[in-house]
Amino acid sequence: MMKNPIAVVTGGSGFIGSHTVDLLLKNNYKVRVIDNFSGGHESNLRDHIDNPNLTIFSEDIRNLSSQSSIFKGAHSIFHFAGIGDIIPSIENPVEYFEVNVLGTIKVLECARESNVQKFLYAASSSCYGLASTPTSETHSCNPEYPYAQSKYQGEQVAMHWASIYGIPVISIRIFNAYGPRVRTTGAYGAVFGVFLKQKLENKKLTVVGDGLQKRDFIYVTDVARAFHFASESKRNKVIYNLGGGSPQSINYLVELLKGTVDYLPSRPGEPKVTWANIDKIQTELNWMPEVSFEEGVGIMVENIKDWANAPLWNKKTIATATKSWFKYLR
């Protein structure tokens, strides 16, 4: 690879995007971040603000021109920009498809025009729906809600552009990513964002169902490493699962956080277990997760003050926030 290759990171001020920027700069990349800061924060990149190898562009991917100079000379594009959360996608599906599908097409067109060597698409394991486990990449996809469908269609168009236009695409289906800088405000959603604020305020942790459900948690720096490995590989037009490969129960998370519990009704459309079969990415990219669940949770607790301004959820506010979930999902 050339000295100081150029990488474009869409959504580079967000949770996973900013950790990927950290790693790329550490590996002597010149990094161009594209972000409209609707979900991410420029403060996530504050450690690099004076780094001459980092340039930040305040742009909405939906407005990108295929002739954009941002992509000129780029070796790789890491496409993290998009909107998440289940409930808002049920309530406003059009925006999700505009950003996650049409926005992806805009970035793909920029990739096509600039002849990049690698296009990395951040896909979601939610494409599998209520899947059998452990789940391999060949498992059928059955998205349960608009967010999942929009991310899956984004992946499909990326693979279509790979077939038609020869763009070297790798799609990585991320399971349950967690770690520092995970979003602390906005819609009700990710369990860490809910639990850590509750713990900080000495409130009960609101556990959905019986807490026996398991999630395949993967620490964010391990996610960034996987994307970096993929960008430097010779693989093309391939899909990888990305998880820890060892599902953990919500009750075990509660135990690690040393919290008391308030139980909520189970929700439709949620799997009892998410579990990534990661054999393919281990074999083909020689990637392995490095951060154990216990170590990762410990780091989150050490940084618990990051949740000082996060919303505090309780049974009543969660019931209000999830009305659409129970109305539309089965």
Whether residue 206 contacts residue 315, with contact meaning beta carbons closer than 8 Å, is answered with: yes
* Tokens (6 digits) for 271: 């799997």
Residues identified as active-site: 147
Give 173's strand partners: 123, 241
Largest separation between any pair of C-alpha atoms in the chain: 56
Give 262's strand partners: 206
* Tokens (6 digits) for 85: 């959360």
**Which letter does DSSP use for residue 9 in this model?**
E
CA distance to 170, 186, 190, 225, 303, per residue, from 201 (Å): 42, 18, 18, 33, 14
Secondary-structure percent of the chain, ordered helix, strand, coil, rounded to 5: 45, 20, 40
Q: Which of 120, 7, 17, 93 is nearest to 53 (CA)?
A: 7
